């Protein structure tokens, strides 16, 4: 770190990597974008030239140059090995969600980070969205009283390509599900049991029923087919008050005419979470500068991954899935899915 400025490299320059690189180039105090990398040479060169920074085609090459921190925005199965390499090289790491392709790989990544004593923040940007963050502060203050119900929706306007769905490159219960499951435990508490109803494989719509350890019940709906736009909102029903978090409109403009009234809707997650994507990087850079633990840790990423696997198991087996606990040889304890009737020490999915 030179004079308190964190030099950051971004690996993976698809949709999210470009968003992160753009913020780091101009919008994050105490950060300087110094390097970009993508496995596709033309993509890497174009981004490097556009942003006026060094570019390369791998994290390995990036690490030969000075960087303090690395933002990983490649597809999920590549995250654990990139995280391990960056941690081993002593870099702070921001990694997009989901943490990995499997819970086993996610666990390996968290252990590598712990061994290296590195900082790892996961890209659950909803925790930095002003409305969601305000709701969480109210829950934490205790003013709502005990939570009884948590109702949440995450709906996209259009599905990914059929090829991306059939190849497993996009998986509703993991890509969208991990955001929802992370938000559920952040807002309400740890999840004890997951039950899923979904349309035929590969699912494009699903409903998740949750039981929380504190007795609250939850329901989450996910779909790729909300033709009206991108819609992400939650409701927390508690004994003293109910909170509704909804920010569906693109702006405050309302058109009133003889035909009725209308307000423009948001079309994409990039619009809905524009602020949050910047604020999560501001918080990450703060952690790097101060050495404090990030607001969303590798363990949070691991728990969300395990809950996604529980949801997938419920979908495949048509049963409710409880969460048990596993402790690794290194002392890392995390929840693992256990089908009903199985002992809590015997995970249903090898993890």
Ligand X SMILES: NC(=O)c1ccc[n+]([C@@H]2O[C@H](COP(=O)([O-])OP(=O)(O)OC[C@H]3O[C@@H](n4cnc5c(N)ncnc54)[C@H](O)[C@@H]3O)[C@@H](O)[C@H]2O)c1
CA distance linking residue 77 with residue 293, whole number of Å: 25
Nearer to ligand X, 23 or 326 (CB): 23
Nearer to ligand X, 89 or 197 (CB): 89
Nearer to ligand X, 193 or 309 (CB): 309
- Burial class (CB within 10 angstroms; exposed 0-12, middle 13-18, buried 19+) of 13: buried
CA angle at 59 for the pair 54 and 60, rounded to the nearest 5° = 100
94 sits in which H/E element? strand 92-95
Q: Which positions ≥6 away from 207 have C-beta within 8 Å? A: 196, 197, 198, 219, 220, 221, 222
Among 1, 26, 40, 140, binds ligand X (CB under 6 A): 40
11 lines the binding site for ligand X (CB under 6 A): yes
16 lines the binding site for ligand X (CB under 6 A): yes
Query: Per-residue DSSP letters for 108-177?
Result: HHHHHHHHHT--EEE--GGGGSHHHHHHHHHHHHTTT-SEEEEEEEEE-SS---HHHHHTTSS-HHHHTH
38 lines the binding site for ligand X (CB under 6 A): yes
Bridge partner residues of 211 (DSSP)? 193, 217
Report in angstroms how near the CB of residue 68 gets to ligand X at its nearest: 19
- Burial class (CB within 10 angstroms; exposed 0-12, middle 13-18, buried 19+) of 341: exposed
339: left (phi over 0), alpha (psi -120 to 50) or beta: beta
39 lines the binding site for ligand X (CB under 6 A): yes
Nearer to ligand X, 75 or 90 (CB): 75
Among 32, 50, 61, 78, binds ligand X (CB under 6 A): 78
Structure tokens at 338: 């256990």
Among 12, 218, 298, 351, binds ligand X (CB under 6 A): 12
CA distance linking residue 116 with residue 86, whole number of Å: 10
315 lines the binding site for ligand X (CB under 6 A): no
37 lines the binding site for ligand X (CB under 6 A): yes
Report in angstroms how near the CB of residue 12 gets to ligand X at its nearest: 3
Among 70, 86, 96, 216, binds ligand X (CB under 6 A): 96
Structure tokens at 251: 């702006």
Q: From 37-45, 129-137, 249-257, 289-297, give the range in contact with ligand X by CB under 6 A.
A: 37-45
229 lines the binding site for ligand X (CB under 6 A): no
Helix (H, G, I), strand (E, B) or coil at 47: helix
Q: How far is CA 143 from the centre of its chain?
A: 27
Nearer to ligand X, 195 or 266 (CB): 266
Among 6, 8, 35, 43, binds ligand X (CB under 6 A): 43
Q: From 75-83, 215-223, 295-303, 311-319, give the range in contact with ligand X by CB under 6 A.
A: 75-83
Among 94, 132, 269, 284, binds ligand X (CB under 6 A): 269
131 lines the binding site for ligand X (CB under 6 A): no
Bridge partner residues of 92 (DSSP)? 69
Among 17, 177, 301, 324, binds ligand X (CB under 6 A): 17
Q: What are the residues binding ligand X (CB under 6 A)?
A: 11-17, 37-40, 43, 58, 73-76, 78, 96-97, 123, 125, 175, 269
């Amino acid at each position: 770190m030179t004079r308190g400025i964190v030099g950051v490299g971004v690996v993976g320059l698809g949709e999210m990597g470009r968003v992160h690189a753009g913020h780091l180039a101009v919008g994050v105090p105490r950060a300087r974008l110094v390097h970009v990398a993508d496995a596709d040479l033309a993509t890497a060169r174009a981004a490097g030239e556009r942003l006026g920074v060094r570019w390369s085609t791998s994290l390995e090459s990036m690490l030969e140059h000075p960087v303090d921190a690395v933002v990983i925005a490649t597809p999920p199965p590549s995250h654990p090995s990139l995280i391990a390499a960056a941690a081993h090289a002593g870099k702070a790491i921001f990694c997009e969600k989901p943490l990995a392709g499997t819970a086993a790989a996610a666990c390996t990544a968290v252990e590598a980070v712990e061994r290296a004593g590195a900082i790892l923040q996961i890209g659950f940007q909803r925790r930095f969205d002003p409305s969601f963050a305000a709701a969480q502060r109210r829950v934490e203050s205790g003013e709502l009283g005990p939570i009884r119900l948590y109702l949440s929706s995450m709906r996209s306007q259009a599905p990914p390509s059929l090829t991306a769905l059939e190849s497993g490159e996009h998986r509703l219960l993991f890509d969208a599900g991990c955001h929802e499951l992370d938000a559920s435990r952040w807002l309400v508490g740890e999840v004890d049991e997951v039950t899923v109803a979904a349309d035929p494989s590969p699912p494009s719509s699903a409903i998740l029923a949750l039981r929380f350890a504190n007795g609250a019940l939850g329901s989450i709906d996910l779909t790729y087919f909300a033709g009206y736009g991108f819609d992400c909102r939650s409701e927390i029903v508690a004994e003293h008050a109910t909170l509704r978090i909804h920010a569906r409109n693109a702006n405050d403009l309302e058109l009133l005419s003889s035909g009725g009234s209308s307000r423009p809707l948001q079309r994409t997650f990039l619009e809905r979470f524009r602020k949050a994507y910047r604020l999560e990087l501001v918080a990450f850079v703060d952690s790097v500068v101060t050495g404090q633990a990030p607001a969303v840790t590798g363990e949070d990423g691991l728990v969300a991954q395990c809950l996604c696997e529980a949801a997938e198991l419920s979908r495949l087996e048509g049963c409710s899935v409880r969460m048990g606990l596993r402790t690794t040889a290194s002392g890392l304890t995390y929840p693992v899915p256990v089908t009903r009737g199985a002992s809590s020490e015997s995970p249903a999915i090898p993890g």
